[in-house]
């Protein structure tokens, strides 16, 4: 149990009183209010209760009792009785199926509970009314290991006498073909199936169980012609069977169902459902150069399109979906084999409301063809789908581009949180890539309550891993076979990183303990791959995937062995920390001692890896043998080097390399989440700011300047000239690089957890020089915490910053501000003033072509100005200059430009632009 406290004045809890069903009372001394163990006797399943709460303050005064919270224990103890039902004459297309039965319900029924599960996706209706508003249920789990069931109170939908119980069923994830190109194939099965149980409670206390079985009938002759997640859905209103979902329907032409037993006992999974979250109207109707009609919904979303249409019978409306336009036309090339086409054939008997049911698309643009009459944009709505996660984090600042970047991360998380954390929601993939989830979990936890969401996915990860000897597949659920049959650093490390992040953000020690066997199995597997020398330099590695300075995604500048060994170090340390943190959970003294001994063992291995790493990869001067930004970022962020002087030298080298590249991004999936922390923690705040606020390609803000509304897979998914990256792997809704949102919250906003579950906060804002203010709010497990800062004076002699903070009841905060001694505060509202001088004002002459390249690079906007002016004249010349220019000391821009020989007038234009750019700093 957890609760939060709202108080106008500082207040601390001394005890909690809980009252069950208005009778049983328990008093719990202490201040605990998050994930408090249940203090009453275990409850029977399927029973109804209420719970009330009263708190006692430190002064002994009690609060009023809370309103009673009613709840039902819906978990099952009896075995699952119902077999799986499917159509007896399966088709190669795995067509959607309708199933039905009728039952008589006695007037003595007081409560009816529906239990249902499916290999595929389904919806149940009682007398034509859907039992809930969930979409694509029960979601996607590793079907061979874990099958989810849902529990629904359907009492209001049943009536005494004859009732119809019906199911709409499609293949969804279960029958989808996975893989790439000609190798794509179904992994789980060819036909969907569903299992349904109805539990009826009577006034006399008897309980009646009605299980799906031989009395059901099925058909594929319905309005659902075909459906696939990648292909889209085809419906034909002429094939509707009116009244099929009502009692007394003549289903004699339907087929008896085929039945088979379940291979697994279905389980209840505590995770939020997928729902229709939002509807968007089109912002514009476009006519493409080819004459096609395209609706623009204003931003990239995930879901499908609902519309109302009226026309003659047989008229066919076709919708094609895409995220972007290319040369003014729908860009479907990036979708690869995912055709993403929805088709509807009209019945011709009046207006029809159309919305696909068993598919989803990632799109902003929708091409409409076959529309009868004049196309009216107001007839269309984009229906946004995602797992209904609770928003918990917000960020704002004085730079609109940073705010837009943050919003893009939010939208990409929404689009990729559909039943499980996916890499992208639009092309023929949409899978739970472990590397993407691992790098993004901290950002996800900064934005939404994702404890249950990622916790469920980790359960599948553990099950998939168990039959692979500790190796974590690169996708979970694993549907790629040999394509995911690798032990890749940064991907398999999801087994250690994700549960550690959830523990850090939610204080969920129980989940951490549940995942310990998975964490240990992965670390042991990786240690075996590294061998006794403790250097992981064998086997395939993705490395710093999609390093923008490399021509191939898997050939990053950072040495893959160095990267893999750094991750081995991090995961081993996380395992040692987890073992130590959970040791107190062990009730048996021998078990507690064993866990402590295991923690000590892995701590020694951590030291061995550090020694091997520094001996093999680090020079005494603080240079890495792999002289790449990602290598320095990981080494510094993971704490592989203890010496302060060596860390300082490494951070200086990292900053030097980034400046040499014009402060454009030079890291991929694994290095990017850690590069800003590596700089900020080691005295390189100016380089961090230049990197964060860079607008050139590649950078975080470049896609924003190109109109992005979600995060991109590649830094240059869209090239500066507006063309689409020619790679066959280009997504415009891919959250991995959105990991920077966590830095915006923790560092720019200055609000971070200092103890698991935010029991203690860390308030330490980064006063970015280009910003006048920033703010972050976060609904912690203890209540809302806030940090806001603003510059209060333009007087360079007294550069004052005001910091305001809210610490929720039950929590405390460490406060670290420049010019003030570190201190701790308890719950309450605070305001502090501190001096925060900006970089020394510059009184030199305006910038010119003859300035040192390093000096120019350290001036915000100078690199971007040169690149933009070159590109305006000759894009090829600009690409050549950007690729080879090194913004290092000892060489002027004029000399560097001479290498690409721009015309004299362009050189003069660059010089004028630099002079105009100059401002005092």
- Which residues are known to be catalytic? 429, 713
Range 613-619 contact pairs with CB under 8 angstroms and sequence separation of 24 or more: 613/534, 613/535, 613/562, 613/565, 613/566, 613/569, 613/640, 614/640, 614/641, 616/535, 617/559, 617/562, 617/565, 618/646
| Pair 571, 605: CB distance under 8 Å | no
Write phi, then psi, for 841 (nearest 5 degrees). -60, 145
Residues 6+ apart with CB under 8 A from 13: 5, 30, 31, 33, 55, 56, 57, 58, 809, 810
**3-state SS track over 421-487:** ECCCCCCCCCCCEHHHHHHHHHHHHHHEECHHHHHHHHHHHHHHHHCCCCCCCCECCCCCHHHHCCC
For the stretch 793-831, what's the b/e string if a residue is b when 16 or more beta carbons lie within 10 angstroms of its beta carbon? eeeeeebebebebbbbbbbbbbbebeeeeeeebebeeee
| Pair 538, 655: CB distance under 8 Å | no
Cβ atoms within 10 A of the Cβ of 299, count? Answer: 17
Q: Which residue has the tokens 């705040």?
A: 685
The upper half-sphere exposure of residue 828, i.e. CA atoms within 13 Å in the direction of its Cβ, equals 9
The upper half-sphere exposure of residue 36, i.e. CA atoms within 13 Å in the direction of its Cβ, equals 21
| Pair 750, 446: CB distance under 8 Å | no
Cβ atoms within 10 A of the Cβ of 114, count? Answer: 23
Strand partners, 571: none
Angle between helices 862-873 and 875-884 (to 10 degrees): 140
- Taking the C-alpha atoms of residue 692 and residue 229, their distance in angstroms, rounded to an integer, is 37
Element (H, E) at 896: helix 893-898
Dihedral of CA atoms 758, 762, 768, 771 in degrees, nearest 10, equals 60
**Residue 341, token pair as written in the block:** 């086409």
- Strands 760-763 and 812-815 come out as parallel
- Of 387, 256, 376, nearest to 307 by C-alpha is 376
Sign of CA dihedral 618, 624, 630, 633: positive
Alpha carbon 605 to its chain centroid, in Å, reads 32
């Amino acid at each position: 149990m957890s609760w939060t406290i709202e108080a106008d004045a500082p207040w601390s809890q001394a005890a909690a009183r809980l009252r069950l069903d208005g009778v049983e009372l328990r008093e719990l001394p202490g201040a605990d209010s998050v994930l408090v163990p249940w203090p009453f006797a275990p409850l029977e399943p399927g029973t109804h209760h209420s719970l009330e709460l009263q708190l006692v303050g430190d002064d002994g005064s009690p609060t009023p009792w809370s309103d009673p919270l009613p709840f039902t224990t819906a978990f099952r103890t009896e075995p699952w009785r119902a077999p799986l039902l499917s159509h007896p004459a399966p088709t190669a297309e795995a067509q959607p199926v309708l199933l039905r039965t009728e039952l008589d319900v006695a007037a003595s029924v007081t409560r009816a509970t529906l239990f249902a599960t499916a290999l595929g996706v389904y919806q149940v209706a009682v007398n034509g009314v859907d039992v809930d508003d969930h979409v694509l249920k029960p979601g996607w789990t590793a079907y061979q290991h874990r099958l989810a069931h849902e529990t629904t109170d359907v009492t209001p939908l049943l009536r005494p006498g004859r009732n119809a119980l019906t199911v709409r069923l499609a293949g969804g994830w279960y029958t989808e073909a996975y893989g790439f190109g000609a190798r794509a194939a179904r992994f789980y099965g060819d036909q969907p199936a569903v299992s349904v149980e109805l539990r009826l409670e009577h006034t006399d206390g008897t309980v009646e169980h009605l299980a799906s079985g031989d009395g059901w009938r099925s058909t594929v002759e319905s309005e659902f012609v075909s459906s696939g997640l990648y292909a889209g859905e085809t419906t034909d209103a002429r094939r509707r069977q009116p009244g099929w979902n009502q009692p007394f329907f003549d289903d004699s032409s339907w087929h008896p169902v085929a039945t088979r037993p379940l291979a697994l006992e279905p389980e209840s999974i505590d995770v939020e459902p997928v729902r229709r979250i939002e509807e968007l109207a089109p912002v514009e109707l476009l006519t493409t150069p080819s004459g096609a009609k395209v609706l623009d919904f204003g931003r990239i979303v995930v879901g499908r399109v609902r519309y109302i249409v009226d026309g003659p019978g047989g008229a066919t409306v076709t919708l094609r979906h895409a995220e972007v336009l290319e040369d003014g036309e729908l860009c479907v090339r990036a979708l690869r084999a995912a055709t993403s086409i929805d088709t509807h054939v009209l019945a011709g008997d009046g207006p029809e409301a159309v919305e696909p049911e068993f598919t989803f698309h990632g799109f902003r643009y929708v091409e409409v063809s076959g529309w009868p009459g004049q196309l009216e944009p107001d007839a269309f709505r984009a229906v946004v789908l995602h797992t209904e996660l609770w928003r918990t984090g917000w960020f704002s600042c004085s730079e609109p581009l940073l705010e837009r970047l943050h919003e893009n991360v939010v939208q990409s998380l929404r689009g990729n949180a559909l039943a499980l954390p996916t890499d992208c929601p639009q092309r023929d993939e949409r899978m739970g890539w472990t590397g993407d989830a691992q790098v993004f979990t901290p950002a996800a936890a900064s934005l939404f309550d994702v404890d249950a969401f990622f916790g469920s996915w980790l359960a599948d990860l553990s099950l998939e891993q168990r039959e692979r000897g500790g190796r974590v597949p690169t996708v979970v659920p694993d549907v790629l076979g040999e394509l995911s049959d690798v032990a890749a650093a940064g991907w398999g490390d999801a087994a250690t990183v994700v549960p550690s992040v959830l523990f850090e953000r939610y204080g969920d020690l129980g989940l951490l303990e549940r995942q310990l066997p998975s964490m240990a199995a992965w670390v042991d597997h990786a240690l075996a791959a590294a061998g006794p020398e403790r250097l992981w330099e064998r086997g395939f590695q993705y490395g710093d995937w999609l390093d923008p300075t490399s021509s191939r995604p898997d050939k990053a500048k950072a040495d893959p062995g160095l990267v893999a060994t750094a991750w081995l170090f991090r995961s081993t340390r996380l395992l040692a920390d987890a073992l130590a943190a959970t040791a107190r959970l062990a009730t048996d003294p021998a078990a507690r001692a064993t866990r402590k001994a295991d923690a000590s063992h892995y701590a020694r291995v951590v030291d061995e890896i550090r020694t091997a790493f520094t001996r093999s990869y680090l020079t005494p001067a603080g240079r890495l043998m792999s002289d790449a930004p990602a290598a320095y970022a990981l080494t510094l962020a993971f704490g592989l080097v203890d010496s302060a002087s060596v860390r300082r030298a490494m951070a200086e080298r990292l900053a030097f390399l980034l400046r040499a590249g014009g402060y454009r991004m030079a890291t991929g999936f694994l290095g990017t989440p850690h590069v800003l922390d590596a700089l900020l923690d080691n005295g390189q705040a100016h380089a961090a700011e230049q990197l964060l606020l860079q607008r050139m390609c590649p950078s975080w803000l470049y896609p924003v300047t190109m109109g992005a509304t979600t995060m991109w897979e590649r830094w240059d998914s869209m090239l500066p000239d507006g063309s689409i990256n020619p790679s066959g792997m280009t997504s415009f809704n891919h959250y991995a690089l959105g990991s920077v949102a966590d830095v915006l919250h923790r560092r720019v906003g200055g609000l971070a957890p200092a103890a698991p579950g935010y029991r203690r906060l860390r308030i330490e804002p980064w006063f970015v020089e280009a910003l006048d203010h920033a703010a972050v709010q976060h609904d912690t497990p203890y209540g809302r915490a806030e940090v806001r800062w603003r510059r209060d004076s333009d007087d360079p002699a007294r550069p004052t910053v005001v910091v305001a903070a809210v610490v929720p009841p039950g929590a405390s905060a460490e406060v670290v501000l420049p010019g003030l001694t570190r201190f701790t505060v308890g719950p309450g509202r605070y305001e502090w003033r501190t001096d925060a001088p900006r970089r020394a004002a510059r009184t030199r002459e305006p910038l010119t072509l003859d300035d040192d390249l390093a000096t120019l690079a350290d001036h915000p906007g100078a690199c971007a100005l040169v690149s933009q002016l070159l590109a305006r004249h000759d894009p090829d010349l600009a690409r050549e200059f950007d690729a080879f220019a090194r913004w290092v000391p000892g060489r002027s821009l004029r000399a560097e430009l001479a290498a690409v020989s721009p015309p004299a007038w362009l050189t003069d234009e660059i010089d004028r632009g630099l002079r105009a750019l100059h401002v005092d700093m």
